[in-house]
Amino acid sequence: MKDYNRFLYDEIGNKYERKNLYLKEVAKLNESIKEASMEKKKELKSQLNEVIKNKESHPYIKKLREYKNKEKDFLSSLKDKKKEFITKLDKSLAPKIRKLKINLFISEEKYKFYKGYTALTYDAELKYEENRLKKEELPNIINYIIKGEKELKKAIEEKKNISPNDEKKGKEELGRFKTQQKEKLKKEEKRLKENRKKGLISKKAEKNEIKALKQKYKESVKSKSYNIPSKSKNGFIKSKKHDINEKTKLGLKVIKSNIADQRRKTPIEVEKSKPKIAYFSLLFPGMGQLINKQFKKGLIFLLATLFVYFIAIPYALGFGNYQGEGIRGLITLAEGGRRIDKSLIFMIEGILAIFLVIISMFLLYISFKDVLKTERNIIKGIRPRNWFETKSALGEEGFPYIINVPAFIVIIFIILVPVTTTVLLSFTGMDPQHQSKFSWIGIDNYKAIFLGEGLAGSVFWLTLSWTLIWTFVATTLAIVIGFGLSLLVNNDRVKGKLFFRTVYLLPWAVPAFITIMFFSIMLSQNGAISQLANDFLGLELNVKNNANQTRMALIFLQGWLGSSYVFLLSTGVLQAIPGDLYEAAEMDGATTWQKLRRITIPIVLFQTAPLLVGQYVFNFNNFSIIYLFNGGGPFEPSKYGNLAGSSDLLISYIYKLTIENQYQGIGAAITIFVAIAVMFVSFLGYRNSKAFKEERL
């Protein structure tokens, strides 16, 4: 048995009495049944069943049926009246005016008809109000256009009848005016140059003044040019056409906006107590919107149906794949396939198929939620939005979502698909012997890494320990050097600050690979620095062939390269610290060390902590310095085999595993480990920074 609410509600919760007396009676009986005693309930249920059974003979239903028949006849006769009205219209009228006059005629006729039925149904009341608004506003728009068209015609006629003598006179007058203004401009420019020579104004002030004078000259000439009759009329005609178009658009938009307001205040009554269309149209986006008479929105959602059933599902089943078999190919990885089939392509196409299916499910869900919400609103009494209201809502509430759709698509195909491929690849046996075709091996790669099994597993832990040492020591050294140099340059007693700041920024200004290659050559066995150390200091440097020396050189080199960035950050923060803080500290008897520890360091760290965390993350994955300086060497086959060198970081180790030695499976597993570790450490660093806690960076 359908359970109706006695009242109707709009979007903001305003309550309205039902005009459908049949539904109102059923709702009242339902309310009485809920509140009645057991004996009374039977009597009321019997009464309710009788009302429902005799629905067609209910006085209100009879009146409603009679109204609908009359409405049908009226709309049919209105078509004939419209044709007759069109034949009587002045054919000389502009198409825009003719169209508006026809709309006005229809609105007036509908206004008269629906006026007598406003008490019967909310639908009639809404149509009455809509046509009343049109009837009141359209004449103003039509009259404005007619008046504007008359002015345009008059201006066009006047333009045709312009006297050649007046035109010539206007042009000659403009020519004389230009000459006068140019002479005046030259005099002013000369005066400014003399003032510049005398030192009364700066070069920049002279330049700005001349620019302003030239702009003023252009504006005055343009203004004077409108004294030419033809140009004056052309300007008026162009301006008037634009004004008519814009005012017409604005007037029609105001009418639509007023109608939308009226729709929100006029409820809808339906003989429905539960949503059904949303569930019926679940698998076909757009159908529910069309049934709810939201036609333009329905057409947009129909594109989602086409995407789901003509792109996503066929691709997921293997149709349209380059080599793969859709989602099935992700499982088989080309096992038992053709010789030319590649497991990696099957995997990528399977991942693409899954993402297309996920997008399809999202579109189905969005469409379902939209139809369900509309249906529930209709049952409650809220009218479904028309296209004007939908556009307005999209322009306001939906704008952030609309502009993020392209970014979301890019994220899926540029970020999520490659990341997912890497994750899945880590569970496969892709290695030098299984490049074309490989299979799933579960967690064997991760097991080999964490248990240190095999050559790759044992090398991993050695490389990880050096990576952690390198990251902490090299980054901390760069921070200390950069911060120390910034303190030095920021000292008031230091002269030539510009020179020192330029020098300290050179490591950052010069491309890093040039610096790295320079020191790589200079620290080679026959390099200049090695020779100088041997000849003058008696030190036997063999940086390229000694693991400890290579590591020390890399740490010092990165400390120097990274210091410039920290120097720049720290200098900016130090210059922004108010001098009052230091003066107050001095008055309290603070020493230089105390001011540094209590004021300078906390403020600098507060401002730069997130960026300094980024420096640690950067150095953890600093591939270029390792690869360019010594290629990851020196190499110790007894400890690292032929897969890595003693100075390789995890990032360069992964490169050698995957690109040089083609161990993509275990390389992907190490990549996942590195990614998770970096994200976790970064999160801890940001979370524990004062800047993150107080500013929510």
Q: Which two tokens stand for residue 113?
A: 């008809």
- Kindly state whether residues 583 and 479 are assigned to the same domain: yes
- Kindly state whether residues 519 and 590 are assigned to the same domain: yes
User: What φ, ψ does residue 88 adopt, rounded to 5°?
Assistant: -85, -10
User: What φ, ψ does residue 582 adopt, rounded to 5°?
Assistant: -70, -40
pLDDT at residue number 692? 56
Which whole-number Å values give the CA distances from 417 to 341, 651, 652, in the listed order? 20, 21, 23
- Kindly state whether residues 570 and 628 are assigned to the same domain: yes
Number of residues assigned to the chain? 697
Last residue within a domain, chosen from 227, 250, 266? 227
Does the residue 657 lie in any domain?
Answer: yes
Does the residue 158 lie in any domain?
Answer: no
Does the residue 563 lie in any domain?
Answer: yes
Does the residue 125 lie in any domain?
Answer: no
- Kindly state whether residues 468 and 404 are assigned to the same domain: no
Does the residue 405 lie in any domain?
Answer: yes
- Kindly state whether residues 592 and 650 are assigned to the same domain: yes
**List of the chain residues with pLDDT < 70:** 1-2, 455, 686, 688-697
- Number of independent structural domains in the chain: 3
Residue ranges making up the domain that contains 204: 164-227
Last residue within a domain, chosen from 380, 398, 425? 425
pLDDT at residue number 533? 83
- Kindly state whether residues 515 and 386 are assigned to the same domain: no
- Kindly state whether residues 559 and 633 are assigned to the same domain: yes
Asked if 359 and 316 count as a contact pair (C-beta separation under 8 A), the reply is no
- Kindly state whether residues 500 and 564 are assigned to the same domain: yes
pLDDT at residue number 696? 47
17: three-class secondary structure by DSSP: strand
- Kindly state whether residues 503 and 643 are assigned to the same domain: yes
pLDDT at residue number 697? 44
- Kindly state whether residues 203 and 352 are assigned to the same domain: no
What whole-number distance in Å separates Cα of residue 652 and Cα of residue 650? 6
Does the residue 65 lie in any domain?
Answer: no
636: three-class secondary structure by DSSP: coil
- Look at residues 650, 615, 642 and name the one whose alpha carbon lies nearest to residue 466: 650
> The tokens 């049952």 sit on which residue?
379
Does the residue 520 lie in any domain?
Answer: yes
Does the residue 597 lie in any domain?
Answer: yes
* Distance from chain centroid for Cα 437: 39
495: three-class secondary structure by DSSP: coil
Cis peptide before 634 (omega within 30 of 0): yes
Name the helix (H) or strand (E) containing 540.
Answer: none
Long-range contacts of 238-244 (CB under 8 A, 24+ apart): 240/148, 240/151, 240/152, 240/155, 241/152, 243/148, 244/144, 244/145, 244/148, 244/149, 244/152
- Kindly state whether residues 558 and 474 are assigned to the same domain: yes
- The CATH code of the domain that includes 490 is 1.10.3720.10
Please indicate, yes or no, whether the overall pTM of this predicted structure exceeds 0.85. no
- Kindly state whether residues 521 and 580 are assigned to the same domain: yes
